[in-house]
Amino acid sequence: MSADTRPVVLTGDRTTGPLHLGHYAGSLRNRLALQHSHRQFLLLADTQALTDNARDPGKVGRNVLEVALDYLAVGIDPAQSTICVQSALPALAELTLLYLNFVTVARLERNPTIRQEIQARGFGRDIPAGFLCYPVSQAADITGFRATVVPVGEDQAPLIEQTNELVRRLNQQAGRDILPEARALIPAVGRLPGVDGRAKMSKSQGNAVPLSASPDEIRDAVRRMYTDPGHVRAADPGEVDGNVVFTYLDAFDEDAATVAELKARYRRGGLGDMAVKRRLEEVLQALLAPIRERRRHLAGDPGHVMDVLRRGTRLARERTQATLEVVREALGLAVLA
Amino acid sequence: MSADTRPVVLTGDRTTGPLHLGHYAGSLRNRLALQHSHRQFLLLADTQALTDNARDPGKVGRNVLEVALDYLAVGIDPAQSTICVQSALPALAELTLLYLNFVTVARLERNPTIRQEIQARGFGRDIPAGFLCYPVSQAADITGFRATVVPVGEDQAPLIEQTNELVRRLNQQAGRDILPEARALIPAVGRLPGVDGRAKMSKSQGNAVPLSASPDEIRDAVRRMYTDPGHVRAADPGEVDGNVVFTYLDAFDEDAATVAELKARYRRGGLGDMAVKRRLEEVLQALLAPIRERRRHLAGDPGHVMDVLRRGTRLARERTQATLEVVREALGLAVLA
């Protein structure tokens, strides 16, 4: 499709576990829309996942297929979006190594996202070198695909800034614009909280609803969902803000008018948690049933999924290799045909 | 040659300029011997050269061919030794990126060779990330070729230790020995001083004799060579230690008995600098004439040299790719056939 003039978007996921409702609300849903308006590349970021999972590389390897299954199950269309595996794209590793020469250690250490993540992971003084360097690896991903749009959470905007700094530095060195700058696409909807009310849904915290959840798991998750602890009897007025059930209704119930009405009744008093939860459960069961079914079906044919990954990766390999050659040639590095 | 049981040696040069007599004395000569007893790989390290030459990548690119010419001119035999280009071996970049996850930033910063080199280059706080990481890249080179013997200067022994630390860490992670440890081969002969008597011969300091030097350049270099400043008249006793002319005679004159006799006469008094220099000039002219001639001849046929590089690089690509696959599989990472 050389006539494809749609803007190029690069997004993807670290392959550390199957995806959950938080991913659906925060990114997968956007991608279903983007794949029509954009030339979309979805990167299964196993190499990046290693930067803080070196003690369990097997987990990173196994979950490549799991995340691919999630993509296809929610409706990512391989004819529209290119799904590819990061570790099978050597040009990205080569660009990373090249770019590392154009950024200082001090600059990487100042990156706010990295500082925050180092703290969150409790690395202390033992920061893996790969982790410190992952923003450079990400710059290689973005520029390797010549992406100009990169959906990221607000806390990750400094990573795009780091990429653009590198782009400017390389363009300056080359004496012409060989790489495009990218812009962060920050989603309007904030991050979905865990079912326990904690800020982030995460498998490791046990507060996530995986996309493959069974009807029972969905029911259980909704039952133990955090509401308003002060709302003891149905007749009492209740809090809607910070009430996970309502946050989820806002995120997944397509009937906004009914949700607004429920909120009003809940605030006034006279609406029990059970009734609201029953509605949310219906919404989630309806959302996840077809995803679960497609996922189960696809999981029974891993050969097909691997084919999708192979085709996507082949396409991505050509594209990223072409960028590598442009960069190498513009810098005057030897190209051994 | 699957029956080749010779130990594997990896060596090479950063491609920042043509090679000189210092390289000949310190490494090239050893390689001429090693290529018979060892399975020898010679890496044209353009990627590594970039780690402190990012502002002049063109220099790094141009000198790939120059260094290859030097190798062939001194008698490296492509049928015996494999000459290959680092930047054309993507598996080395991929191994580097992988290994970066198994070493901490603090450990890299403690590497004595790196500390010393950072100081020598005056990087201050502005250390390029690629420079800090180059010992990991070197570990990827050594293990990528499964080399067990690595000729290095004494000051670089910590780099081999760093490689072996990574090897042990990866073998531990894999639960079996997937990579061999390597040992440093430290040359018996020390580093050749510059013609001005400074410790190191270096093109940038203008005290080097390139392997392609013309007869006039050789004569001039010997004439301005540092001797014993206290040895004013031929009749005076002179110092041999630190006298560059004698250091070079020790390094290049194959007639050790005559050199010993000259030293004795020089010490006693009665032997002029001119006479000793005349002998050294003869020795160097005889050494460099056939090298210069072969180099001139080869430079006239760059297509042939590129063919040598292409063949060597193809072989090296297979070998390093095989290592990458072993490592990836042993760690449980996905392999997309």
In whole angstroms, give the CA distance from residue B148 to residue B321.
Answer: 18
Cβ <8 Å between B85 and A336: yes
pLDDT score recorded for residue A2: 55
Whether residue B50 is predicted with pLDDT greater than 60 in this model: the reply is yes
Query: Which tens digit of pLDDT belongs to each residue from A174-221?
Result: 999 999 999 999 987 778 999 999 988 988 888 999 999 999 999 999
Q: Does B54 touch chain A (CB under 8 A)?
A: yes
A88:B336 CB<8 A: yes
For B:245-284, CB contacts with A below 8 A are none
Distance CA A41, CA A10 (A): 5
- Determine the pLDDT at residue B1: 47
The DSSP element (H or E) to which B12 belongs, if any, is: strand B8-14
Residue of A nearest to B311 (CA): A336
What pLDDT score was predicted for residue B124?
78
With CA atoms as reference, the chain B residue closest to A85 would be B336
Cβ-Cβ pairs closer than 8 A, A with B, add up to 165
Distance CA B23, CA B14 (A): 12
B62 touches chain A (CB under 8 A): yes
H/E/C letters for each residue in chain A? CCCCCCCEEEEEEECCCCCEHHHHHHHHHHHHHHHHHCEEEEEEEHHHHHCCCCCCHHHHHHHHHHHHHHHHHHCCCCCCEEEEEHHHCHHHHHHHHHHHHHCEHHHHHHCHHHHHHHHHHCCCCCCEHHHHCHHHHHHHHHHHCCCCEEECCHHHHHHHHHHHHHHHHHHHHHCCCCCCCCEEECCCCCCCCCCCCCCCCCHHHCCCCECCCCHHHHHHHHHCCCCCCCCCCCCCCCCCCCCHHHHHHHHHCCCHHHHHHHHHHHHHCCCCHHHHHHHHHHHHHHHHHHHHHHHHHHHCCHHHHHHHHHHHHHHHHHHHHHHHHHHHHHHCCCCCC
Which amino acid belongs to residue B272?
Answer: G
> Which CATH number describes the domain made up of B8-192+302-331?
3.40.50.620
Measured between CA atoms, the residue of chain B closest to residue A310 is B336
**Probe site for chain A from B100, B178, B317, B326 (most A CB atoms < 10 A):** B100
Interval B306-329: pLDDT, tens: 999 999 999 999 999 999 999 999
Contact (CB<8Å) B132/A105: yes
By Cβ distance, the residue of A87, A105, A332 closest to B129 is A105
Every domain of chain B and the residues it spans: 8-192+302-331, 212-296
* B62 to A100: CB separation less than 8 angstroms, yes or no: no
Among A84, A96, A105, the residue to mutate for chain B (most B Cβ within 10 A)? A105
* Stretch B158-166: mean pLDDT: 96
Contact B129, B100 (CB under 8 A): no
**pLDDT of the residue at B80:** 95
B-chain residues within 8 Å CB-CB of A46? Answer: 333-334
Distance from CA of A92 to the nearest CA of B (A): 9
Extract the tokens encoding B123: 């990087």
Contact A129 B133 (CB under 8 A): yes
Give pLDDT, residue B337. 61
Q: Where do we find the tokens 């072993």? A: B326
> B72-83 pLDDT, tens per residue?
999 999 999 999
Q: For A104, which of B57, B102, B129 is closest by C-beta distance?
A: B129
Q: What is the 8-class DSSP label of residue B202?
A: -
Residue A215: the pLDDT is 98
Nearest residue in chain B measured CA to CA from A108: B129
Distance CA B265, CA B267 (A): 5
Phi, psi (deg, nearest 5) at residue A133: -90, 0
Surface of B (77-96) touching A: CB under 8 A: 85, 87-88, 90-91, 93-94, 96
Res B2: pLDDT = 55
Sheet hosting strand A183-185, strand order edge to edge: A81-85, A39-45, A8-14, A149-151, A183-185
Residues 6+ apart with CB under 8 A from A235: A269, A270
Rounded Cα–Cα distance for residues A51 and A166 (Å): 20
In A, minimum Cα distance to B337 occurs at A310
**Low-confidence residues of chain A, pLDDT below 70?**
1-2, 337
- Measured between CA atoms, how close is A156 to chain B, in angstroms? 21
ipTM of the complex: 0.93
Q: B336 falls in which pLDDT band (50, 70, 90)?
A: confident
Contact B129 A133 (CB under 8 A): yes
Phi, psi dihedrals of residue A32, rounded to the nearest 5°: -65, -35
Closest residue of chain A to B107, computed from CA coordinates: A126
Suggest the residue from B14, B333, B335 to mutate for an interface test with chain A (most A CBs closer than 10 A).
Answer: B333
Confidence at residue A337, expressed as pLDDT on a 0 to 100 scale: 61
- The shortest CB-CB distance from A47 to any of B85, B97, B337 is to B97
pLDDT band at B203; cut points 50, 70, 90: confident
Rounded CA-CA distance B232/A242 in Å is 92
* 3-state DSSP assignment of residue B83: strand
Beta bridge partners of B39: B8
CA triple A95-A99-A103, angle to 5 deg: 165
**What's the pLDDT tens digit per position in A32-81?**
999 999 999 999 999 999 999 999 999 999 999 999 999 999 999 999 99
Superfamily of domain A212-296: Tyrosyl-Transfer RNA Synthetase (1.10.240.10)
Alpha carbons B229 and B187: distance in angstroms, whole number? 30
Q: At a CB cut-off of 8 Å and minimum separation 6, what does A101 contact?
A: B50, B51, B54, B128, B129, B130, B131
Across the interface, which of A51, A64, A97 has its CB nearest the CB of B101?
A: A51
B118 touches chain A (CB under 8 A): no
In angstroms, rounded to a whole number, what is the distance separating the alpha carbons of residues A233 and A218?
24
To the nearest whole Å, the CA of B98 is away from the closest chain A CA by 7
